[in-house]
Amino acid sequence: MKRRASRAGTDPVAGLLRGILPMLFLTLLVVALAIPAGLAIAPAFHRPDSSAAAADTPAPWQQVPTRLSPPGGTGAGAVQPLSSSAPVPGPGALAAQLNDALKTDGAGAFTGVVQDAATGALLFDRAGDETRVPASNMKLLTAVSALRVLGPDRRFSTKVVAGSAPGSVVLTGGGDVLLGAGESAPDAVLGHAGLATLAKATVQALRHDGAAGTVSVQLDDSLFTGPSLNPAWSPDDVAAGETAPLFPLALNSARFDPASTTGPRPQDAAMGAAEAFSAQLATAAAAAGLTVAPGVERVPAPVPSGNARILAEVQSATVGQQVDLLLRTSDNFLAEVMGRMSALASGRPGSNDGAIATVLQQLGELGIPTETLHAADVSGLALANQVSARQLTEVVRAITSGPDPRLRAALAGFPVAALTGTLGDRYTDASTARGAGLVRAKTGTLNTVIALSGYVVDADGRLLVFSFIGNGLTPGAANKPALDRAASLLAGCGCR
């Protein structure tokens, strides 16, 4: 039976929220303005000093604003930092509500953990140290590793270098799998670097060198090593387009169409990108009196970096922007590439094993125990992954409140309930609407697995981190609402 990893489309919002959508987006804008304030006082989030609201009445900071305040404003309605003196939910009251919500529809069971982000205090624990299949929640580990090893401002270069044969150029992959076929789009993440821009710059360099006649195109995609497909992945998932063979360059995160995030993917994304570059090069070369030989061949061995004369290059969006995209859309291919690029930056081979070792090392350096954690990949598509809810909440806590400020770059990538990413079509009924626009969490979905890990400010103004994982579930059963109800309970909690 086919297993499906979580994906996002165009972020639809169901009918129940359509009437309040503009005001919800206004709320999000206020929250976005609040993030810099929260970062400035890391390692903890805090809330405005005000009295706690009743659980059935949204607190002032959760209500839809009547107007926007400019950044740095101090008047009424201005965004203010949260206070660390906000009440912490009582574990007993919280457990009573969550245990009632976390009931499976059919077979299987849920584990879960809720922690206070500022102190790490354990507020809810249902078999939280038991390792489970985490599905795409595995991407949280990969995101943290990438931000620590690569840094949020790092960019990947796709280069064209002079080949060893006269008149040859070599397209060299450097880890950017979000290439666009057209001109570079500076304000975009997908398509930030464009092959048409790279081709024009290459022709300019060739003309400067006095090139004449025919130009041949070669491909160097040797940056990654080891199998391009993980043996732990189901062939059915690969055929369905949940992922694809991994290469250090690709168009549209190995998608035929940048507007489509479903369906089969190209099985040789690097060659597809090289052929698109060759076509763009032919167009640009014609205006310069040059011709481009048909076809692209892989170079038998990469040009030594010290001897490669760079003719042109384009750079990707930042790692921080790519992490945002991979979390929001739950892109397995992009996550695996980010894992391999992190491995290379840490001095390991750009392979699956190198990516896993790098992730585990980074978690260990953050003080997150990994003795019981088993990783078979870094995207969460493999059923052999084993991670506990406690380990996941510690990762989320490191992002929201930990001592490493580089991890804050992952905050915006968490999908927002009922609004963005893989949560865009959830939290739309009466039992979960309390969390709409407030819960931010990474989803995970396989046939018998669902997971939800993220953060929320409760009605008393306390930042909570949480992870709920269901394993052994009945395929197709209605289990996502249980996790959404649990997270919505946290958003409305005045649990004292």
* Residue 67 confidence class, pLDDT cut points 50, 70, 90: low
- The token duo for 50 is 């005000």
Give me the phi and psi of 434, to 5 degrees please. Answer: -60, -25
Looking at residue 251, its pLDDT comes to: 98
* 431 is a catalytic site residue: no
Percentage of the residues of the chain whose pLDDT score is greater than 90? 76
Give the pLDDT score at 496: 77
pLDDT beyond 60 at 16: no
Q: Give Cα 435 distance to the centre of its chain.
A: 21
The lowest-confidence range among 58-72, 104-118, 143-157, 198-212 is 58-72
Assess whether pLDDT exceeds 50 at residue 488. yes
The whole-angstrom separation of Cα 280 and Cα 283 is 5
Active site residue 442: no
Domain boundaries, the chain: 15-149+367-491, 157-317
Which residues, in sequence order, are bridge partners of residue 124?
Answer: 114
Render pLDDT for 377-399 as a digit per residue (tens, 0 to 9).
999 999 999 999 999 999 999 99
Q: What is the mean pLDDT of residues 277-283?
A: 98
61 has pLDDT over 50: yes
Q: What is the mean pLDDT of the chain?
A: 87
Looking at this protein, which amino acid is placed at residue 184?
A: S
Query: What's the pLDDT at 225?
Result: 96
Is 330 a residue of the active site?
A: yes
Q: Which CATH architecture has domain 15-149+367-491?
A: 3-Layer(aba) Sandwich (3.40)
- How far is it, in rounded angstroms, from Cα 237 to Cα 20? 37
Lowest mean pLDDT among 140-144, 256-260, 372-376: 256-260
Please compute the mean of the pLDDT values over residues 87-115 and round it to a whole number: 95
**pTM, to two decimals:** 0.86
pLDDT over 70 for what percent of the chain? Answer: 83
Q: Which of 6, 253, 316, 330 is catalytic?
A: 330
**Across residues 79-106, what is the average pLDDT?**
87
Q: Can you read off the two tokens belonging to residue 441? A: 């969490």
Contact 224, 351 (CB under 8 A): yes
Digit-coded pLDDT (tens) for 435-484: 999 999 999 999 999 999 999 999 999 999 999 999 999 999 999 999 99
Query: In degrees, to the nearest 5, what angle opens at C-alpha 51 toward C-alphas 47 and 57?
Result: 95
Q: What is the pLDDT of residue 66?
A: 57
Could you tell me which residue, 33 or 133, shows the higher pLDDT? 133
The two structure tokens encoding residue 276? 């698109």
Which among 139, 159, 200, 480 is annotated as catalytic? Answer: 139
Asked if pLDDT for residue 370 goes beyond 80, the answer is yes
Q: Looking at the predicted structure, is the pLDDT value of residue 25 above 80?
A: no
Which pLDDT band, with edges at 50, 70 and 90, does 36 fall under?
very low
Q: Residue 320 phi/psi, 5° resolution?
A: -60, -45
pLDDT of residue 23: 44
- Summarize pLDDT for 292-324 with one digit per residue, the tens: 999 999 998 776 766 779 999 999 999 999 999
Please determine, for residue 71, whether its predicted confidence score (pLDDT) is greater than 90.
no
Q: Select which of 6, 136, 222, 278 is catalytic.
A: 136
Q: In sequence order, what are the beta bridge partners of 388?
A: 131
**Measured in whole angstroms, how far is the alpha carbon of residue 7 from the centre of its chain?**
11
The pLDDT of residue 495 is 81
Would you say residue 98 has pLDDT above 50?
yes
Highest mean pLDDT among 31-35, 72-76, 179-183: 179-183
For the segment 85-109, the average pLDDT, to the nearest whole number, is 93
Q: Is the pLDDT of residue 92 over 80?
A: yes
Higher-confidence position of 43 and 179: 179
Low-confidence winner among 208-212, 358-362, 369-373 (lowest mean pLDDT): 208-212
Tell me what pLDDT residue 165 has: 87
Q: Tell me what pLDDT residue 412 has.
A: 94
* CA trace torsion 470, 475, 476, 478 (10° rounding): -30
User: What per-residue confidence (pLDDT) applies to 472?
Assistant: 97
